[in-house]
Amino acid sequence: MDKLDPDDEIPVQKGTISSVVDESEPRNFASLIAHQVSVRVAWVFKTESVLIPAFLDSISGSGWVRGCLPILNRIGQSFAPLWMADRIQTTPRKKWILLLTTWMMGFPWVLLAILLWNLQGGNFPGFPALFLFLYTFFFAATGLNRVIFGTLQGKLIRAGHRGRLLGISGILGSIFSVAALLYMQKFISIEGYRLFFVSFLVSGVGMLLAGLTCLGIKETPDQYEPSRNSFWQQLNEARIILRENRPFRKLVIVSMLTITILLIFPHYQTFARERLASGEVHLIAWVIAQNIGAGLFSLLLGSIADRFGNKLAIQVALVVIISGPLLALIFAHRNLELLHPWFWVTYFVLGMTPVTDKAITNYCLEVVPAREHAQALSTLKLCMMIPLLFSIFVGLLIDLIGFTPVFIGSSLIVVLALWQTRRMIEPRQHE
Protein backbone atom coordinates (compact mmCIF):
# COMPACT_ATOMS: atom_id res chain seq x y z
CA MET A 1 0.00 0.00 0.00
CA ASP A 2 1.23 3.51 -0.79
CA LYS A 3 2.73 5.47 2.06
CA LEU A 4 0.70 8.54 2.88
CA ASP A 5 2.71 11.74 3.05
CA PRO A 6 1.55 14.41 5.53
CA ASP A 7 0.14 16.53 2.73
CA ASP A 8 -1.52 13.53 1.08
CA GLU A 9 -4.36 13.46 3.60
CA ILE A 10 -7.73 12.97 2.01
CA PRO A 11 -10.37 15.42 3.20
CA VAL A 12 -13.02 13.56 5.15
CA GLN A 13 -16.39 13.94 3.48
CA LYS A 14 -18.70 12.71 6.19
CA GLY A 15 -22.21 13.94 5.84
CA THR A 16 -21.89 14.95 2.21
CA ILE A 17 -24.56 12.38 1.36
CA SER A 18 -27.58 13.27 3.46
CA SER A 19 -30.36 10.92 4.50
CA VAL A 20 -32.60 12.64 1.95
CA VAL A 21 -30.09 11.79 -0.76
CA ASP A 22 -29.84 8.20 0.51
CA GLU A 23 -33.59 7.81 0.09
CA SER A 24 -33.47 9.32 -3.39
CA GLU A 25 -30.33 7.51 -4.55
CA PRO A 26 -32.07 4.67 -6.47
CA ARG A 27 -34.17 7.17 -8.42
CA ASN A 28 -31.20 9.44 -9.10
CA PHE A 29 -29.03 6.45 -9.98
CA ALA A 30 -31.56 5.46 -12.64
CA SER A 31 -31.95 9.04 -13.91
CA LEU A 32 -28.20 9.58 -14.25
CA ILE A 33 -27.87 6.27 -16.09
CA ALA A 34 -30.70 7.31 -18.43
CA HIS A 35 -28.90 10.59 -19.13
CA GLN A 36 -25.55 8.92 -19.84
CA VAL A 37 -27.09 6.24 -22.05
CA SER A 38 -29.18 8.67 -24.11
CA VAL A 39 -26.24 11.05 -24.61
CA ARG A 40 -24.11 8.06 -25.61
CA VAL A 41 -26.64 6.94 -28.23
CA ALA A 42 -26.74 10.45 -29.69
CA TRP A 43 -22.94 10.75 -29.55
CA VAL A 44 -22.33 7.56 -31.52
CA PHE A 45 -23.52 9.23 -34.72
CA LYS A 46 -20.65 11.77 -34.58
CA THR A 47 -17.76 9.68 -33.24
CA GLU A 48 -14.50 11.69 -33.06
CA SER A 49 -12.26 8.84 -34.16
CA VAL A 50 -14.30 7.95 -37.27
CA LEU A 51 -17.10 10.17 -38.57
CA ILE A 52 -15.77 13.63 -37.69
CA PRO A 53 -12.34 13.13 -39.35
CA ALA A 54 -14.07 11.59 -42.37
CA PHE A 55 -16.37 14.62 -42.66
CA LEU A 56 -13.48 17.05 -42.27
CA ASP A 57 -11.54 15.17 -44.96
CA SER A 58 -14.55 15.56 -47.26
CA ILE A 59 -14.52 19.37 -46.91
CA SER A 60 -10.79 19.95 -46.42
CA GLY A 61 -8.42 16.96 -46.42
CA SER A 62 -5.34 18.58 -44.86
CA GLY A 63 -3.51 16.81 -42.02
CA TRP A 64 -3.03 20.05 -40.10
CA VAL A 65 -6.78 20.74 -40.24
CA ARG A 66 -7.48 17.30 -38.76
CA GLY A 67 -4.83 18.16 -36.20
CA CYS A 68 -7.01 21.07 -35.03
CA LEU A 69 -9.66 18.68 -33.71
CA PRO A 70 -8.01 17.56 -30.45
CA ILE A 71 -6.92 21.05 -29.42
CA LEU A 72 -10.31 22.62 -30.19
CA ASN A 73 -11.93 19.72 -28.36
CA ARG A 74 -9.94 20.47 -25.21
CA ILE A 75 -10.03 24.26 -25.49
CA GLY A 76 -13.80 23.98 -25.48
CA GLN A 77 -13.80 21.50 -22.59
CA SER A 78 -11.28 23.46 -20.51
CA PHE A 79 -11.92 27.20 -20.48
CA ALA A 80 -15.71 27.19 -20.27
CA PRO A 81 -15.82 24.84 -17.22
CA LEU A 82 -13.05 26.77 -15.46
CA TRP A 83 -14.85 30.07 -16.03
CA MET A 84 -18.12 28.63 -14.73
CA ALA A 85 -16.77 26.32 -11.99
CA ASP A 86 -17.87 28.44 -9.02
CA ARG A 87 -21.24 29.13 -10.60
CA ILE A 88 -21.74 25.41 -11.14
CA GLN A 89 -20.80 24.64 -7.52
CA THR A 90 -23.06 27.36 -6.08
CA THR A 91 -26.09 26.66 -8.29
CA PRO A 92 -28.72 25.31 -5.84
CA ARG A 93 -30.19 22.70 -8.21
CA LYS A 94 -27.68 21.52 -10.76
CA LYS A 95 -30.06 19.34 -12.75
CA TRP A 96 -31.39 22.41 -14.59
CA ILE A 97 -27.97 23.44 -15.88
CA LEU A 98 -27.30 19.80 -16.79
CA LEU A 99 -30.46 19.92 -18.92
CA LEU A 100 -29.48 23.25 -20.51
CA THR A 101 -25.95 22.17 -21.44
CA THR A 102 -27.24 18.89 -22.90
CA TRP A 103 -29.48 20.91 -25.19
CA MET A 104 -26.55 23.16 -26.07
CA MET A 105 -24.64 20.04 -27.14
CA GLY A 106 -27.33 19.21 -29.67
CA PHE A 107 -27.57 22.65 -31.26
CA PRO A 108 -24.40 22.59 -33.48
CA TRP A 109 -25.29 19.25 -35.06
CA VAL A 110 -28.84 20.28 -35.92
CA LEU A 111 -27.44 23.47 -37.47
CA LEU A 112 -24.86 21.51 -39.49
CA ALA A 113 -27.54 19.08 -40.70
CA ILE A 114 -29.69 21.98 -41.93
CA LEU A 115 -26.66 23.50 -43.67
CA LEU A 116 -25.72 20.22 -45.38
CA TRP A 117 -29.28 19.76 -46.58
CA ASN A 118 -29.32 23.24 -48.09
CA LEU A 119 -25.89 22.82 -49.72
CA GLN A 120 -26.87 19.48 -51.30
CA GLY A 121 -23.26 18.28 -51.37
CA GLY A 122 -21.75 21.66 -52.17
CA ASN A 123 -18.91 23.37 -50.36
CA PHE A 124 -17.70 26.91 -49.76
CA PRO A 125 -14.32 28.37 -48.70
CA GLY A 126 -15.31 29.10 -45.11
CA PHE A 127 -16.98 25.75 -44.44
CA PRO A 128 -14.02 24.14 -42.59
CA ALA A 129 -13.67 27.24 -40.38
CA LEU A 130 -17.41 27.28 -39.61
CA PHE A 131 -17.34 23.59 -38.77
CA LEU A 132 -14.37 24.04 -36.44
CA PHE A 133 -16.17 26.92 -34.68
CA LEU A 134 -19.31 24.81 -34.13
CA TYR A 135 -17.11 21.90 -33.04
CA THR A 136 -15.49 24.12 -30.40
CA PHE A 137 -18.91 25.36 -29.22
CA PHE A 138 -20.08 21.77 -28.90
CA PHE A 139 -17.14 20.83 -26.72
CA ALA A 140 -17.52 23.94 -24.58
CA ALA A 141 -21.05 22.73 -23.85
CA THR A 142 -19.74 19.18 -23.38
CA GLY A 143 -17.08 20.34 -20.92
CA LEU A 144 -19.68 22.18 -18.86
CA ASN A 145 -22.01 19.20 -19.06
CA ARG A 146 -19.38 16.76 -17.81
CA VAL A 147 -18.30 18.95 -14.91
CA ILE A 148 -21.94 19.44 -13.92
CA PHE A 149 -22.60 15.70 -14.22
CA GLY A 150 -19.52 14.88 -12.15
CA THR A 151 -20.47 17.42 -9.49
CA LEU A 152 -24.04 16.13 -9.40
CA GLN A 153 -22.81 12.55 -9.21
CA GLY A 154 -20.55 13.48 -6.29
CA LYS A 155 -23.54 15.08 -4.57
CA LEU A 156 -26.12 12.35 -5.17
CA ILE A 157 -24.23 9.03 -5.46
CA ARG A 158 -22.02 7.48 -2.79
CA ALA A 159 -18.38 6.77 -3.72
CA GLY A 160 -18.81 3.00 -3.48
CA HIS A 161 -21.64 3.07 -6.02
CA ARG A 162 -20.03 5.28 -8.69
CA GLY A 163 -18.20 2.40 -10.34
CA ARG A 164 -21.54 0.61 -10.65
CA LEU A 165 -22.97 3.72 -12.30
CA LEU A 166 -20.03 3.74 -14.73
CA GLY A 167 -20.41 0.05 -15.55
CA ILE A 168 -24.18 -0.08 -15.99
CA SER A 169 -24.39 3.13 -18.01
CA GLY A 170 -21.47 1.94 -20.15
CA ILE A 171 -22.87 -1.47 -21.04
CA LEU A 172 -26.42 -0.15 -21.58
CA GLY A 173 -24.99 2.69 -23.65
CA SER A 174 -23.21 0.17 -25.86
CA ILE A 175 -26.27 -2.02 -26.30
CA PHE A 176 -28.55 0.86 -27.26
CA SER A 177 -25.89 2.60 -29.38
CA VAL A 178 -25.17 -0.51 -31.43
CA ALA A 179 -28.90 -1.21 -31.75
CA ALA A 180 -29.46 2.36 -32.97
CA LEU A 181 -26.64 2.07 -35.50
CA LEU A 182 -27.96 -1.24 -36.83
CA TYR A 183 -31.49 0.15 -37.04
CA MET A 184 -30.22 3.22 -38.89
CA GLN A 185 -27.93 1.14 -41.13
CA LYS A 186 -30.08 1.56 -44.24
CA PHE A 187 -30.02 5.32 -43.77
CA ILE A 188 -26.33 5.73 -42.94
CA SER A 189 -24.99 3.21 -45.48
CA ILE A 190 -25.43 5.97 -48.05
CA GLU A 191 -22.40 7.98 -49.11
CA GLY A 192 -21.45 11.60 -49.56
CA TYR A 193 -23.08 14.49 -47.76
CA ARG A 194 -26.26 12.48 -47.07
CA LEU A 195 -24.31 10.23 -44.69
CA PHE A 196 -23.22 13.22 -42.63
CA PHE A 197 -26.63 14.91 -42.88
CA VAL A 198 -28.39 11.89 -41.37
CA SER A 199 -25.66 11.31 -38.77
CA PHE A 200 -25.58 14.92 -37.56
CA LEU A 201 -29.36 15.27 -37.52
CA VAL A 202 -29.84 12.11 -35.45
CA SER A 203 -27.04 13.17 -33.09
CA GLY A 204 -28.41 16.68 -32.58
CA VAL A 205 -32.03 15.65 -32.05
CA GLY A 206 -30.87 12.81 -29.80
CA MET A 207 -29.06 15.21 -27.49
CA LEU A 208 -32.08 17.49 -27.32
CA LEU A 209 -34.15 14.51 -26.20
CA ALA A 210 -31.42 13.34 -23.80
CA GLY A 211 -31.77 16.57 -21.85
CA LEU A 212 -35.28 15.57 -20.81
CA THR A 213 -33.90 12.74 -18.65
CA CYS A 214 -32.70 15.39 -16.18
CA LEU A 215 -36.33 15.95 -15.17
CA GLY A 216 -36.22 12.63 -13.29
CA ILE A 217 -33.45 13.75 -10.92
CA LYS A 218 -34.54 14.49 -7.34
CA GLU A 219 -32.14 17.02 -5.86
CA THR A 220 -32.22 19.04 -2.66
CA PRO A 221 -30.92 22.60 -3.16
CA ASP A 222 -27.37 23.41 -2.06
CA GLN A 223 -26.82 26.30 0.32
CA TYR A 224 -23.88 28.21 -1.12
CA GLU A 225 -23.24 31.92 -1.48
CA PRO A 226 -23.68 33.02 -5.12
CA SER A 227 -20.32 33.25 -6.90
CA ARG A 228 -18.98 36.47 -8.36
CA ASN A 229 -15.49 35.23 -9.19
CA SER A 230 -13.91 36.43 -12.42
CA PHE A 231 -12.11 34.12 -14.84
CA TRP A 232 -8.74 35.21 -13.44
CA GLN A 233 -9.90 34.45 -9.90
CA GLN A 234 -10.93 31.02 -11.12
CA LEU A 235 -7.44 30.53 -12.55
CA ASN A 236 -5.98 31.46 -9.18
CA GLU A 237 -8.24 28.93 -7.44
CA ALA A 238 -7.01 26.31 -9.91
CA ARG A 239 -3.43 27.16 -8.96
CA ILE A 240 -4.27 26.88 -5.25
CA ILE A 241 -5.91 23.46 -5.53
CA LEU A 242 -2.93 22.17 -7.53
CA ARG A 243 -0.51 23.51 -4.94
CA GLU A 244 -2.33 22.34 -1.82
CA ASN A 245 -3.80 18.97 -2.81
CA ARG A 246 -0.94 16.59 -3.54
CA PRO A 247 -3.03 13.50 -4.47
CA PHE A 248 -4.93 15.65 -6.95
CA ARG A 249 -1.65 16.97 -8.37
CA LYS A 250 -0.40 13.41 -8.94
CA LEU A 251 -3.65 12.58 -10.74
CA VAL A 252 -3.20 15.61 -12.99
CA ILE A 253 0.27 14.41 -14.06
CA VAL A 254 -1.05 10.97 -14.99
CA SER A 255 -4.04 12.49 -16.79
CA MET A 256 -1.91 14.89 -18.84
CA LEU A 257 0.27 12.04 -20.05
CA THR A 258 -2.72 9.81 -20.78
CA ILE A 259 -4.63 12.42 -22.77
CA THR A 260 -1.83 12.61 -25.36
CA ILE A 261 -3.34 9.48 -26.91
CA LEU A 262 -6.09 11.75 -28.28
CA LEU A 263 -3.52 13.50 -30.47
CA ILE A 264 -3.65 10.62 -32.95
CA PHE A 265 -7.41 9.89 -32.75
CA PRO A 266 -8.34 12.01 -35.81
CA HIS A 267 -5.72 10.20 -37.90
CA TYR A 268 -6.80 6.56 -37.47
CA GLN A 269 -9.33 6.49 -40.28
CA THR A 270 -6.95 8.30 -42.66
CA PHE A 271 -4.22 5.81 -41.71
CA ALA A 272 -6.58 2.90 -42.40
CA ARG A 273 -7.70 4.32 -45.74
CA GLU A 274 -4.08 4.60 -46.88
CA ARG A 275 -2.85 1.25 -45.54
CA LEU A 276 -5.71 -1.23 -45.81
CA ALA A 277 -6.55 -3.23 -48.90
CA SER A 278 -9.39 -1.89 -51.02
CA GLY A 279 -12.80 -2.53 -49.49
CA GLU A 280 -11.56 -2.94 -45.92
CA VAL A 281 -12.59 0.55 -44.76
CA HIS A 282 -15.92 0.22 -42.92
CA LEU A 283 -16.66 3.37 -40.93
CA ILE A 284 -19.91 2.23 -39.33
CA ALA A 285 -18.48 -1.18 -38.40
CA TRP A 286 -15.63 0.61 -36.63
CA VAL A 287 -18.06 2.84 -34.74
CA ILE A 288 -19.94 -0.28 -33.61
CA ALA A 289 -16.70 -1.98 -32.52
CA GLN A 290 -15.63 1.08 -30.55
CA ASN A 291 -18.97 1.27 -28.76
CA ILE A 292 -19.00 -2.41 -27.88
CA GLY A 293 -15.50 -1.94 -26.49
CA ALA A 294 -16.58 1.08 -24.46
CA GLY A 295 -19.48 -0.85 -22.96
CA LEU A 296 -17.48 -3.92 -21.98
CA PHE A 297 -14.61 -1.82 -20.64
CA SER A 298 -17.09 0.26 -18.61
CA LEU A 299 -18.39 -2.90 -16.97
CA LEU A 300 -14.83 -4.06 -16.27
CA LEU A 301 -13.54 -0.77 -14.86
CA GLY A 302 -16.72 -0.11 -12.88
CA SER A 303 -16.45 -3.50 -11.19
CA ILE A 304 -12.74 -2.99 -10.43
CA ALA A 305 -13.37 0.54 -9.10
CA ASP A 306 -16.12 -0.47 -6.67
CA ARG A 307 -14.21 -3.52 -5.43
CA PHE A 308 -10.59 -2.35 -5.40
CA GLY A 309 -10.69 1.41 -6.00
CA ASN A 310 -10.24 3.76 -8.93
CA LYS A 311 -6.43 3.69 -8.88
CA LEU A 312 -6.34 0.07 -10.05
CA ALA A 313 -9.12 0.80 -12.56
CA ILE A 314 -6.99 3.58 -14.09
CA GLN A 315 -3.93 1.31 -14.24
CA VAL A 316 -5.84 -1.45 -16.05
CA ALA A 317 -7.22 1.13 -18.47
CA LEU A 318 -3.76 2.45 -19.32
CA VAL A 319 -2.48 -1.03 -20.16
CA VAL A 320 -5.29 -1.38 -22.70
CA ILE A 321 -4.80 2.13 -24.13
CA ILE A 322 -1.09 1.47 -24.72
CA SER A 323 -1.97 -1.37 -27.09
CA GLY A 324 -4.25 0.72 -29.35
CA PRO A 325 -1.72 2.42 -31.68
CA LEU A 326 0.44 -0.72 -31.78
CA LEU A 327 -2.50 -2.88 -32.84
CA ALA A 328 -3.33 -0.38 -35.59
CA LEU A 329 0.19 -0.73 -36.99
CA ILE A 330 0.03 -4.53 -36.86
CA PHE A 331 -3.45 -4.97 -38.34
CA ALA A 332 -2.76 -2.52 -41.19
CA HIS A 333 0.79 -3.68 -42.02
CA ARG A 334 1.33 -3.97 -45.76
CA ASN A 335 2.94 -7.41 -45.42
CA LEU A 336 0.15 -8.77 -43.22
CA GLU A 337 -2.90 -8.49 -45.47
CA LEU A 338 -4.50 -11.48 -43.78
CA LEU A 339 -4.88 -9.30 -40.69
CA HIS A 340 -6.48 -6.36 -42.48
CA PRO A 341 -10.07 -7.58 -41.88
CA TRP A 342 -9.26 -7.54 -38.14
CA PHE A 343 -8.51 -3.82 -38.07
CA TRP A 344 -11.81 -3.31 -36.23
CA VAL A 345 -10.07 -4.69 -33.11
CA THR A 346 -8.13 -1.40 -32.99
CA TYR A 347 -11.40 0.51 -32.63
CA PHE A 348 -12.64 -1.96 -30.03
CA VAL A 349 -9.57 -1.08 -27.93
CA LEU A 350 -10.10 2.65 -28.55
CA GLY A 351 -13.37 2.26 -26.67
CA MET A 352 -11.32 2.26 -23.46
CA THR A 353 -10.29 5.92 -23.83
CA PRO A 354 -13.60 7.63 -22.89
CA VAL A 355 -14.12 5.10 -20.09
CA THR A 356 -10.71 6.01 -18.66
CA ASP A 357 -11.77 9.65 -18.54
CA LYS A 358 -14.73 8.69 -16.35
CA ALA A 359 -12.52 6.61 -14.04
CA ILE A 360 -10.22 9.62 -13.69
CA THR A 361 -13.24 11.79 -12.83
CA ASN A 362 -14.36 9.34 -10.15
CA TYR A 363 -10.85 9.27 -8.64
CA CYS A 364 -10.85 13.07 -8.59
CA LEU A 365 -14.16 13.13 -6.70
CA GLU A 366 -12.56 11.01 -3.96
CA VAL A 367 -9.40 13.08 -3.41
CA VAL A 368 -11.03 16.50 -3.08
CA PRO A 369 -13.78 17.65 -0.66
CA ALA A 370 -17.31 17.93 -2.03
CA ARG A 371 -17.30 21.73 -1.89
CA GLU A 372 -14.39 21.75 -4.40
CA HIS A 373 -15.67 19.15 -6.86
CA ALA A 374 -16.58 21.57 -9.67
CA GLN A 375 -13.35 23.54 -9.26
CA ALA A 376 -11.21 20.39 -9.21
CA LEU A 377 -12.88 18.86 -12.26
CA SER A 378 -12.55 22.07 -14.28
CA THR A 379 -8.91 22.43 -13.19
CA LEU A 380 -8.24 18.85 -14.26
CA LYS A 381 -9.74 19.52 -17.70
CA LEU A 382 -7.70 22.70 -18.08
CA CYS A 383 -4.47 20.83 -17.34
CA MET A 384 -5.43 18.04 -19.74
CA MET A 385 -5.74 20.62 -22.49
CA ILE A 386 -2.05 21.55 -22.35
CA PRO A 387 -0.64 18.45 -24.15
CA LEU A 388 -3.22 18.88 -26.89
CA LEU A 389 -1.73 22.24 -27.84
CA PHE A 390 0.62 20.06 -29.89
CA SER A 391 -2.19 18.51 -31.96
CA ILE A 392 -1.55 20.59 -35.08
CA PHE A 393 2.16 19.78 -34.78
CA VAL A 394 1.31 16.05 -34.65
CA GLY A 395 -0.76 16.39 -37.83
CA LEU A 396 2.17 18.10 -39.57
CA LEU A 397 4.57 15.48 -38.17
CA ILE A 398 2.47 12.68 -39.64
CA ASP A 399 2.55 14.43 -43.01
CA LEU A 400 6.34 14.72 -42.68
CA ILE A 401 7.56 11.39 -41.23
CA GLY A 402 4.54 9.11 -41.47
CA PHE A 403 2.20 7.33 -39.08
CA THR A 404 4.45 4.62 -37.62
CA PRO A 405 6.87 6.67 -35.47
CA VAL A 406 4.05 8.94 -34.25
CA PHE A 407 1.84 6.00 -33.24
CA ILE A 408 4.71 4.27 -31.42
CA GLY A 409 5.60 7.52 -29.64
CA SER A 410 1.99 7.89 -28.45
CA SER A 411 2.05 4.45 -26.85
CA LEU A 412 5.37 5.19 -25.12
CA ILE A 413 3.95 8.35 -23.53
CA VAL A 414 1.08 6.34 -22.04
CA VAL A 415 3.64 3.82 -20.74
CA LEU A 416 5.13 6.76 -18.83
CA ALA A 417 1.65 7.60 -17.49
CA LEU A 418 1.30 4.02 -16.24
CA TRP A 419 4.69 4.30 -14.52
CA GLN A 420 3.57 7.51 -12.81
CA THR A 421 0.48 5.84 -11.31
CA ARG A 422 2.74 4.12 -8.77
CA ARG A 423 2.89 7.50 -6.99
CA MET A 424 -0.89 7.76 -6.69
CA ILE A 425 -2.66 6.71 -3.51
CA GLU A 426 -5.85 4.69 -3.23
CA PRO A 427 -8.20 7.13 -1.40
CA ARG A 428 -10.36 4.45 0.23
CA GLN A 429 -7.33 2.96 1.97
CA HIS A 430 -6.55 6.33 3.61
CA GLU A 431 -10.00 7.42 4.80
**194 vs 359, residue with greater confidence:** 359
CA distance 101 to 161: 25
CA distance 120 to 328: 35
What b/e sequence results for 34-48 when a residue is b if at least 16 CB atoms lie within 10 Å of its CB, and e otherwise? bbbbbbbbbbbbbbb
pLDDT digits (tens, 9 = 90+) for 286-337: 888 888 999 999 999 999 988 898 999 999 999 999 999 999 999 988 777 7
Q: What is the pLDDT of residue 6?
A: 41
C-alpha closest to that of 257 among 409, 417, 415: 417
C-alpha closest to that of 408 among 254, 253, 271: 271
Residue type at position 159 = A
Q: What is the pLDDT of residue 1?
A: 38
Q: What is the pLDDT of residue 22?
A: 67
Topology, domain 17-216+228-426: Growth Hormone; Chain: A; (1.20.1250)
**118 vs 38, residue with greater confidence:** 38
Q: Is 249 exposed, middle or buried (0-12, 13-18, 19+ CB in 10 A)?
A: middle
In the predicted model, is pLDDT for residue 214 greater than 70? yes
Cα 112 to chain center, whole Å? 22
Query: Where are the chain's structural domains?
Result: 17-216+228-426
CA distance 200 to 109: 5
Q: What is the pLDDT of residue 12?
A: 43
Cα 431 to chain center, whole Å? 29
Q: What is the pLDDT of residue 409?
A: 94
Residue type at position 271 = F
In the predicted model, is pLDDT for residue 9 greater than 80? no
Q: Which residues contact 309 (CB under 8 A, 6 or more apart)?
A: 426, 427, 428, 429
For the chain, what percentages of helix, strand and coil (3-state, to nearest 5) are there?
80, 0, 20
User: Which secondary-structure segment (H or E) carries 222?
Assistant: none
Give ∠ CA 345-351-353 in degrees, rounded to 5: 125
Residue type at position 28 = N
CA distance 61 to 161: 45
pLDDT digits (tens, 9 = 90+) for 271-285: 888 877 645 457 778
Lowest mean pLDDT among 69-73, 142-146, 302-306: 69-73
pLDDT digits (tens, 9 = 90+) for 44-69: 888 766 678 778 877 776 666 777 77
Which pTM was predicted?
0.76
pLDDT digits (tens, 9 = 90+) for 75-97: 888 888 877 777 887 788 889 99
Read off the pLDDT band of 16 (50, 70, 90).
very low
pLDDT digits (tens, 9 = 90+) for 345-397: 999 999 999 899 989 999 998 988 878 888 888 889 889 888 888 888 888 89
